Chain A
């Protein structure tokens, strides 16, 4: 086999491996990202699939039990405050979690009861950047 051919074969093998890795990696790492008001759309409606829901922690809605670490609150749509979703979470909340803050809740949605069981709560993290001064 000529040297050129060897390289071509080598490169193709690597490219296929990469393609396979990217394909494999995407599977299971992709999450639909919606706002609270978009929960009824088809993309958010898949059973037992983890998704991310963005919204605001409704002030006055946080109920926590520090001995069990259970916390629940209402997630409110960023622009349409009528849309809300109940969030149940069991874990340590991020540092800057507080009423009125914008968060992304990652978890599995129970569409019937309008509840999401959160696996993770991501707070819009201001590290490295400026504070949101609009408020």
Chain B
């Protein structure tokens, strides 16, 4: 059974080499037959990888310690779903998962494009085959999940207790879906460059892939933040760790890409910019996987150094050089035929939004890689702490909020001063009122003042957009609700986008509140002692000891009162996991829309006294709520248009027919 997994892995590696080889021959001979053959190779490769994933998953769930990977990651008493999630807990397993997802996406893309993008597809094929080969090469030769342990053991090392959290089941796979998804638009961009067809076709063909990847990456990041918040027990959700940064950088460039493609679609400008952005985003996802899995950067996350680094570096630099070569040799096609009409235009706000997002990504990259750079150049290891990232990202975040609000107020092409002023009156008044209100409420520091007031400004502009849209639709629709529904579903991309903006603003409320106004207090407490923090009174009722399924627990009982009102009991605890000899802090959180009360149990003495640390984290819940709105908005924006897509397919079809005769003689099987 286990051998089946190994064989599947080997064969799919051979098949992906074959897929690349026949794609290239097909391209050279302009023959569709070879292309069909490569499609079959991809299908088989996917099937074989599925078997490998299944075999590894089964070995994990059934605790088959013959495999080193299984012995290292699960133990006898680990529940089945956590045992399965160990598939992505380690290096080999997670790279196998990466490869499997890529194979899955590839065969979906092939099916989506049976009759479309016939000129691009051979190159898309070849690019995706190249990426798949890289990951399978790593798996076969460097970090094989099917490596045998060589001797029998009775119990495995077990999954780290920190990973035994529902977050483990969803956070890594969603993040990976996002990472891998960006391979698709990347492959199309490369294909567009090679074929010199750099108009908007490759962008519109992959628009939903991009949105899908962006959405999954976003969800993955938020799940990670939530997990860190409830599980790591330091009171925060984001620590600017290299691994967190690794997922945030492609998110920033991906966000920039989502915006700038609109300019290319409308005005056929920014072609170099867009191909570069998606290439950078893809490279950052690879860099992210690399940072996460190799331990190259000295961080609290870093692990035993591995030799994967050089191969990743080789792959990254080859991709960079190849992309650069393509861009430099295709400058003529990439030159835009149009010019911007006016500085005061919506296009400008998109440009500046892009510049700021890219700048943020590079500043974070700088801070993340600085320890490596400084060690290489000066021989001194220097780490860059969270203050660096906060210094740069807070003003950048505020500038982005401002642009989010200004953007819909300025018309495309050229805004007249009158139109501009008229649009600005209401939102700017709201901004001013909010500013005064917050000031009177006692907020004096500049960043939170600006942040909150600008969020009010942005929300006003978005609601104005909806109001105007609904009012215009009232000419056709019976009532407000139908008008709203039609507005949303007839212009999904636009209004879905606005809903995403609302979600982001809600998240910014939470981020601003929790980072600017958090307080904490710690105290050694005996039975009956009271800890007072803000308007809370926390009474220590004592500690209990008991056993859980795989740990020994010490749990404190704390009576919570706010403004004299009884809010019940909280139980911050510590779980000692015997197998891993590790203590886990289980925090207790009492959350509402205003703030989170976050309690941590520190050391406990023999006479029953304990150390309690309390955090008040204002508005944190808004981050999670905002993310739901964001998810909803993105799904609306990417929901397919049924009728219109048929029309546009027909339109594209007539366009494509003329091209088909020039490119490939597709045989009946591809049709």
B31 on the A face (CB < 8 A): no
Produce 1/0 per residue, B111-148, CB < 8 A to A: 00000000000000000000000000000000000000
A-facing residues in B385-417 (Cβ within 8 Å): 385-392, 395-396
Contact, CB under 8 Å: A131 / B383: no
B89 on the A face (CB < 8 A): yes
Contact, CB under 8 Å: B73 / A128: no
Interface core residue of A3, A18, A29 (most chain B CB under 10 Å)? A29
B371 on the A face (CB < 8 A): yes
Residue of B nearest to A64 (CB): B603
B8 neighbours in A (Cβ, 8 Å)? none
Residue of A nearest to B71 (CB): A133
Given A122-B300, A132-B303, A95 contacting B382 (CB threshold 8 A)? no
Contact, CB under 8 Å: B387 / A66: no
Contact, CB under 8 Å: B388 / A25: yes
Produce 1/0 per residue, A1-13, CB < 8 A to B: 0010011001100
A60 neighbours in B (Cβ, 8 Å)? none
Cross-interface CB contact of A69 among B157, B381, B396, B611, cutoff 8 Å: B611
Size bracket of the B interface: 35 or more
Size bracket of the A interface: 35 or more
Interface core residue of A68, A125, A130 (most chain B CB under 10 Å)? A130
Contact, CB under 8 Å: A129 / B301: yes
Cross-interface CB contact of B298 among A26, A29, A33, A128, cutoff 8 Å: A33
B-facing residues in A1-41 (Cβ within 8 Å): 3, 6-7, 10-11, 14-15, 17-18, 21-22, 24-26, 28-34
Residue of A nearest to B526 (CB): A67
B609 on the A face (CB < 8 A): yes
A113 on the B face (CB < 8 A): no
Produce 1/0 per residue, B57-98, CB < 8 A to A: 000000000000000110000000000000001110000000
Contact, CB under 8 Å: A92 / B603: yes
B639 on the A face (CB < 8 A): no
Cross-interface CB contact of A25 among B157, B351, B367, cutoff 8 Å: B367
- For the complex, give the distance between the alpha carbons of A18 and B392 in Å: 8
Produce 1/0 per residue, B217-245, CB < 8 A to A: 00000000000000011000000000100
B302 on the A face (CB < 8 A): yes
B172 on the A face (CB < 8 A): yes
Residue of B nearest to A25 (CB): B391
A18 neighbours in B (Cβ, 8 Å)? 359, 363, 392
A134 on the B face (CB < 8 A): yes
Residue of B nearest to A129 (CB): B303
Contact, CB under 8 Å: A24 / B391: yes
Contact, CB under 8 Å: B381 / A66: no
B464 neighbours in A (Cβ, 8 Å)? none
A126 neighbours in B (Cβ, 8 Å)? 160, 162, 303
A134 neighbours in B (Cβ, 8 Å)? 304
B366 on the A face (CB < 8 A): yes
- For the complex, give the distance between the alpha carbons of A54 and B302 in Å: 13
B583 neighbours in A (Cβ, 8 Å)? 95-96
Residue of B nearest to A97 (CB): B583
A-facing residues in B575-618 (Cβ within 8 Å): 580-585, 600, 602-605, 609, 611, 613
A124 on the B face (CB < 8 A): yes
- For the complex, give the distance between the alpha carbons of A113 and B356 in Å: 48
Given A3-B342, A127-B301, A66 contacting B604 (CB threshold 8 A)? yes
In the assembled complex, 15 residue pairs joining A and B whose CB atoms fall closer than 8 Å, in A order, are A10-B352, A18-B363, A21-B396, A22-B392, A28-B387, A30-B385, A68-B524, A69-B524, A92-B611, A125-B300, A127-B160, A128-B163, A130-B73, A131-B157, A132-B303
A interface residue numbers (CB < 8 A to B): 3, 6-7, 10-11, 14-15, 17-18, 21-22, 24-26, 28-34, 43, 52, 54, 64, 66-69, 92, 95-96, 98, 104, 122-134
What 7 A-B pairs come out closest when comparing CB atoms?
A: A29-B388, A25-B391, A33-B381, A130-B90, A25-B388, A29-B387, A66-B603
